[in-house]
Structure 1
Amino acid sequence: MKKENKKMKKARKAAVKNVEKKAYQPLTWEEVFAGEQLPSLPSALPKMIDDTISQTPDLLKGTVAQVIPVAYSIYPRGLKFVYIDGRTREPRMNCLLVAKEGGGKECITLPIKHILAEVKENSRQDRQRLKEFNDKYSRARQDEEKPKRPDDLDIRWLFPDITRPRLSQAMEDAQGAFLFLKLNELEDWDKLEGAKGKSNSFSLMKLIDDEDNDFGQDRVGAQSVNADGCLRLNYIADSTETKLKKYFRYIHGEGPISRITLGGIPSVEIGAPIPVFGSYDKHYDDLIRPYIENLKKATGTILCKEALQMAETLKAEIDAFNSKTQDRILDTLSHRSLVAAFRRGCLIYAANGMEWEPEIEYFCRWSMQVDLYMKYKLFADDIRQANDCVKTDKPGPQSLLDKVTVNAQGEFSFDEVVRVYTESGKTPDEKRVRNVLNQWKARGFILQMTNDSYKKIS
């Protein structure tokens, strides 16, 4: 039998991969919101994601996959990507894992520990150096020359009890690099904001999602922190559904919710077998090392045409769904969710050495669908109440077009749309209704028969 050469082997692998791609069919937005469970992780994944979750049990792969881009995002410095609005976006990321009950969050611990082993070790060593400096400074007599603080500290793995002055100093030391924070509970964010309950406006949570933000403080004294710059802080946290809704109960319409990316922790059936993890060993470290090295080298402003096309495609899909539902809450939430998906796609592209994979789009669509599905299920009614809108207990946004009653020929009148609009709690303004009909017509959902009659297109 003739031995398979490298070229033949590569072609065979490519053929297998193409079959897998064709087999994967992404869910539509209608299917996502009609489902009772989170969308399933795609069968075809980007290599970085596939390698990183290789030791995770199947049940928890989706949970880990949604989180790990945040860990990888700490490595690039000065990296920006041009977005579809012409502005640039840095890899600013976060992920909040949400479970119905406590437990399950430990599945992300080992992947994060191995991805950020270098950052954590550097932070540990430089904390020791900082402690030694502080001890020397405190012991120095008044008539002695005080030691100078080290100017090359790199403490980027932060602890949940960090104060704002210490955060300002860490930002100054990082010199444009990203800081990392892993919160054991979402409520630990109160320590950073310095407030809780009704007095907590989550100004810092909103600030760190904005490009070119301005953060810092002025103090008086030789050892006081004086810092001014752009804060780059990426974080991971977890909560239960009940605690999460309670935590954000005072600010439903004010922005923090749209700025977080949600991920789910699946519930395990009573008596189910314990999920078995693989080995996080040297082989695993060698597997993820190339992605880390590529991200450490990644810098500058990048125009990735494939990422832009992906963002345009995802926007067109969610806009088409929104034109049917006319759901303002979903439309508002989708804007930042799309940016988050774009950032993730660009990060994976950079981790690949600036090479695109079709699977990146599969993953980013899934990530965006998980995020919006959870946000809508958890917060849509609360946001409506906060905005004095009509409250609905429906599980997801409903298509107004599907509610329109048609005759035997599939036709309906303008007045029928007004009726549906009114029953859905929306003001049946004639100009607004005609604008909706024009949207449906432009997107190929309906045909206009006469001035006041229309026909659904199957």
Structure 2
Amino acid sequence: MIYDITKPTAPAMPNLGKGLELPKLLFSQVSKDMQEAIAPLIFDSLASHISGTEFMYPDLTWKEICGLITAIVARSAGGKGQLQRLVEAIMRGARQHDELQLQKLVEWQKTVKSKGANKEKPVRPEVSFWFPPSDVTNAAFIQNAMACEQDSEHTQYYNLPEVEMADRMCGGHKQVTQTIRNVYDKQKAGALRATADGITGNPVLRVNMNISCTPGEARNFFKRDLFNGTLGRIAFSYKARGNRDGKIPRQGKYDEAFLDTLDQYIVRLQACKGRFIVKPLNKLADKMAADMAALADLTDDDTLWDMSKRAIVNAWKKGCVLYILNGQTWTKAMSEFVEWLMYYDLWSKNQIFGDMLKDGDTGITEAQKSGPKNMLDDLPDSFNEAQLEALRITMDKPKEGTKRQLRVWLFRRFITYSAQTGLYTKTKEKLGIRS
């Protein structure tokens, strides 16, 4: 384990070394206080430029790089709006494509209106929007998914400035969970839909999405979806309230030099086709899975273990994007960055939903005090079984699990045991976590 996600301080983003030239370029346009929070969100729009490409996950399944959903959570006026400028730069080509598609529709509508009631109407043109409006209705969402599927199986990208917009897109709040599940798993929409032309369809949902909301909005919106897999399918990025330093954060200028360099990377994404196996990335995913199992044992938290499985997949997919951006080569710095993305996601969920995952429903401050907790931190360097049992009781964990937890900690080498004293002692391995 590299980062301690049980602490209130965010895991620090590693140095952006070789292979991370595009993230460095993008972060140059973002104020310093927002770079860590926005880092996980750059991949959703970038990955929407990839089609006809699959990567093998360590479980030997092939995955397309779609189904990425990332939510940035910060207080009002917390800097979330900087994402919009970055997204518009990344999606400039998609905007131009969509403007031409919209013009086709406008011309068709004009022609239809000019025809008399007894005249034959022209057929609606086949159009697909790659960067649809954020206030899209569910019918339009499904219809556009059908069009994108026919248009080289292109991925739609949405940037939702308000989380409630997901209700409109999904056809109501009760449908949000199912839509997120279908998007994440690249499934079909789940129901046949009829268009104005009488055409029905049930398209595969190739969608990437960014969502912006405040902590209160996130907690209220997802409070009924804490244990059905929804949270695991969404990567969260939490930005805590900053200091009152009285300084206005500085953003970039998005000048021509920046845009020209950015476009060179976009071309790499668009040109990449075929199937790939990135062995060092898969090795990293296996390592992260082992580390998450150890952390779940350290905290005795099954919810953390369940959420970590999809957090690893989310980070792995972002690693696939980096692989393409770096000319289909891998570096140590890229591994460090992907690993940080996974930990930052889990840390953010702990900060936002920690208490709710333990069936509480208090404010965001209380959430930061709850969630997964490293129980060794609350024990002395040397302790006995009774002390751990007492600690478990204070944390509402059954005392019957004490012996098992001690066995797991011994197996993980978090502690050692002295038969002479009857005491357990923390080991240096446990101290190998950085903030």
Range class of TM-score, shorter chain: 0.7 to 0.9
Alignment of 1:348 onto 2:322 = yes
- 1:441 counterpart residue number: 410
Q: Which amino acid aligns with 2:165?
A: D
Alignment of 1:229 onto 2:203 = yes
Of residues 243, 247, 261, the one that matches 2:235 is: 261
Of residues 421, 426, 439, the one that matches 2:392 is: 421
Q: 1:364 to 1:323 in 2, by over 3 A?
A: same
Q: 1:208 to 1:102 in 2, by over 3 A?
A: same
- Cα distance, 1:269 vs structure 2: 4.1
Post-superposition CA distance 1:72-115 (Å, at most 9, x none): 01101132221122223322212211112334222122221111
Once residues 367 and 75 of structure 2 are traced to their aligned partners in structure 1, the CA distance between those partners, rounded to angstroms, is 21
Post-superposition CA distance 1:291-350 (Å, at most 9, x none): 211111223332110110111222222222221111222222212111111111111111
Larger Rg: 1
- 1:28 counterpart residue number: 2
- Cα distance, 1:290 vs structure 2: 2.4
- 2:104 counterpart residue number: 129
Alignment of 1:182 onto 2:147 = no
Matched residue of 2:384: which SS?
Answer: strand
CA contact (8 A) 2:238 2:351 kept: no
CA contact (8 A) 1:180 1:235 kept: yes
Once residues 88 and 188 of structure 2 are traced to their aligned partners in structure 1, the CA distance between those partners, rounded to angstroms, is 29
- Cα distance, 1:356 vs structure 2: 1.0
Once residues 42 and 298 of structure 1 are traced to their aligned partners in structure 2, the CA distance between those partners, rounded to angstroms, is 27
- Cα distance, 1:129 vs structure 2: 0.4
- 1:21 counterpart residue number: none
- Cα distance, 1:359 vs structure 2: 1.5
Normalising to structure 1: TM-score of the pair?
0.82
* Correspondence 1:194-209 to 2 at 5 A: 194-196=171-173, 199=174, 202-209=177-184
Once residues 10 and 218 of structure 2 are traced to their aligned partners in structure 1, the CA distance between those partners, rounded to angstroms, is 18
Once residues 162 and 146 of structure 2 are traced to their aligned partners in structure 1, the CA distance between those partners, rounded to angstroms, is 26
Quick one: higher RCO (CA 8 Å, sep 6+), 1 or 2?
2
Alignment of 1:43 onto 2:11 = no
- Cα distance, 1:411 vs structure 2: 6.3
Post-superposition CA distance 1:209-258 (Å, at most 9, x none): 11344445233x76134222210111112111122212223333233222
Once residues 368 and 68 of structure 2 are traced to their aligned partners in structure 1, the CA distance between those partners, rounded to angstroms, is 31
Alignment of 1:310 onto 2:279 = no
Matched residue of 1:28: which SS?
Answer: coil
Q: 1:271 to 1:86 in 2, by over 3 A?
A: same
- Cα distance, 1:378 vs structure 2: 1.5
Instruction: Give the RMSD, CA atoms, in angstroms.
Output: 2.8
Where does the alignment leave 5 or more consecutive residues of structure 1 unmatched? 1-26
Post-superposition CA distance 1:373-393 (Å, at most 9, x none): 121121122122179xxx997
CA contact (8 A) 2:186 2:205 kept: no
Once residues 281 and 188 of structure 2 are traced to their aligned partners in structure 1, the CA distance between those partners, rounded to angstroms, is 24
- Cα distance, 1:353 vs structure 2: 2.3
- 1:59 counterpart residue number: 33
Of residues 85, 89, 93, the one that matches 1:118 is: 93
Greater CA deviation, 445-454 or 92-101? 445-454
- Cα distance, 1:165 vs structure 2: 1.9
Give percent identity, aligned residues only: 21
- Cα distance, 1:122 vs structure 2: 0.3
Of residues 34, 53, 57, the one that matches 1:83 is: 57
Where does the alignment leave 5 or more consecutive residues of structure 2 unmatched? 428-435
Q: Which amino acid aligns with 1:202?
A: T
- 2:123 counterpart residue number: 148
Of residues 358, 362, 384, the one that matches 1:412 is: 384
CA contact (8 A) 2:134 2:159 kept: yes
- 1:13 counterpart residue number: none
- 2:307 counterpart residue number: 333
Matched residue of 1:397: which SS?
Answer: coil
Q: 1:227 to 1:451 in 2, by over 3 A?
A: farther
CA contact (8 A) 2:272 2:324 kept: yes
Once residues 447 and 208 of structure 1 are traced to their aligned partners in structure 2, the CA distance between those partners, rounded to angstroms, is 46
Q: 1:168 to 1:393 in 2, by over 3 A?
A: closer
Once residues 41 and 101 of structure 1 are traced to their aligned partners in structure 2, the CA distance between those partners, rounded to angstroms, is 23
- Cα distance, 1:399 vs structure 2: 2.5
Normalising to structure 2: TM-score of the pair?
0.86
